[in-house]
Amino acid sequence: MIKDKVFKAVIPAAGLGTRFLPVTKASPKEMLPLVDKPLIQYVVEEAVASGIKEVIIVTGRGKRAIEDHFDISFELEENLRENGKKSILKEIRKISMLADFCYVRQSKAKGLGHAILTAKNLVGDEPFAVLLGDDIVDAEVPALRQMIRIYEKYHAPVLAIARVKKDEVKNYGIIKGEKINSRLFSVEDLVEKPDPDDAPSDLAVIGRYILVPEVFGMLEMVKPGKNGEIQLTDGLRILAKRGPIYGYLVEGKRYDAGDKLGFLKATVEFALKNPDLGREFRSYLGSLVL
Ligand code: G1P
């Protein structure tokens, strides 16, 4: 039976962050600050604003800071209370109450598909979302909420997609799809990080997925693919052969915050929008001779 509601989200956070070295040598890339919040908090907030109740984070060695961030911080909270810092205390307390958090460790970085497989028992037999912390989507309606609406209509997996330039297709899973309407595509096939000349389209999968538990069986079947890793894309290929999958061009602005330049762009734009910093930061940027 197809279940209707998506309550669980998996956030893979065991990656080594090699695109961001050296800062990620001993610090999780998910904890890099976008203005004043770590990247992973934006992603969790998007999930929660989309109706997610349980957040499953796939971690690994060196990622303890993530668990601490979403836990209560007793000494800090006591200190803020004693010093009458009410508003920041409220903000800090809110973080640990965002959702029910659970953690599972991926002992070896064997790829995105393998990371998701690690969450199999925690997900159980229900549809679930996957959010990748590298992709930050600034949208009026949260990106995942937009996708859940599609899932609730079609009862089939939904992948967030975006158009990318030809020389960028090598960084993404690329879909071969048939257009249903201006934002929706039916996915016939996918290929992980193709050469630009072999890419079936310019429609790249960005880091948001609504998946069904059948995908775990597919991931158990796939052999190591691109870069010797168990690729989620390869599991989805099998799924696409067996039933419908949809690609949805999400509304909003997407940043690849796992890349140094993308992260800088996101930092500047989020800082400009920040109610406390925006005005002064804008005038500072204006004063730079570029
Ligand atoms: C992963 C997926 C890829 C997807 C991308 C989105 O790649 O394997 O299919 O397009 O995320 O960000 P990664 O960026 O982890 O190399």
User: Which of 285, 286, 283, 276 minimizes the C-alpha distance to 36?
Assistant: 276
Count structural domains, the chain: 1
Among 226, 219, 223, CA closest to 115: 219
158 in a domain, yes or no? yes
Residue 269 has what pLDDT?
97
Instruction: Supply the CATH number for residue 38's domain.
Output: 3.90.550.10
Q: Exposed, middle or buried, 19 (CB in 10 Å: 0-12/13-18/19+)? A: middle
The predicted pLDDT at position 2 comes to: 53
Does some domain include residue 279? Answer: no
CA 15 to ligand 1: nearest atom = 15
Distance from the CA of 71 to the center of ligand 1, in angstroms?
28
Q: Can you read off the two tokens belonging to residue 167? A: 């020389």
pLDDT of residue 230 exceeding 70, the answer is yes
Nearest CA to 92 out of 27, 37, 32, 11 is that of 37
Give a yes or no: residue 187 inside a domain. Answer: yes
Q: Is 204 in the pocket of ligand 1 (CB under 6 A)?
A: yes
Smallest CA separation from ligand 1 atom 11, residue: 207
Q: What values do phi and psi take at 19, rounded to 5?
A: -70, -10
Residue 103, domain extent: 8-274
Check pocket membership of 31 for ligand 1, CB cut-off 6 A: no
Mean pLDDT of 230-256: 96
Phi-psi region of 228 (alpha: psi -120 to 50; beta: other; left: phi over 0): left
Confidence band of 3 (pLDDT split at 50, 70, 90):
low
160, part of any domain: yes
What separation in Å is there between the alpha carbon of 200 and the centre of ligand 1?
16
Domain membership flag for residue 125: yes
Which H helix or E strand runs over 152? helix 143-154
* Residue 46, ligand 1, Cβ within 6 A: no
Residue 205 alpha carbon, nearest atom of ligand 1: 10
Q: Supply φ then ψ for residue 16, to 5 degrees.
A: -85, -10
List pLDDT tens digits, range 40-62: 999 999 999 999 999 999 999 98
**CB hemisphere CA count around 96 (13 angstroms):** 13
- pLDDT, tens digit (0-9, with 9 covering 90-100), for 63-90: 999 999 999 999 999 999 999 999 999 9
Distance 241 CA to ligand 1 centre (A): 21
Strand 100-105 and strand 203-211: pairing?
A: unpaired
Q: Which residues have CB under 8 Å from 16's CB, separation 6+?
A: 24, 109
36 within domain boundaries:
yes
Residue 214 alpha carbon to ligand 1 centre in Å: 20
> Length of the chain, please?
290
Write the pLDDT tens digit of every residue in 212-222.
999 999 999 99
What is the per-residue pLDDT for 1?
Answer: 47
Query: Any residues with CB less than 8 A from the CB of 256 and at least 6 apart, and which?
Result: 134, 135, 262, 263
Within-domain flag for 100: yes
Angle at 56 between CA 54 and CA 57, to 5 degrees: 140
Does the beta carbon of 206 lie inside 6 Å of ligand 1?
yes
CB-ligand 1 contact for 169 (6 Å cutoff)? no
**pLDDT computed for residue 191 by the predictor:** 95
In this structure, is residue 228 part of a structural domain? yes
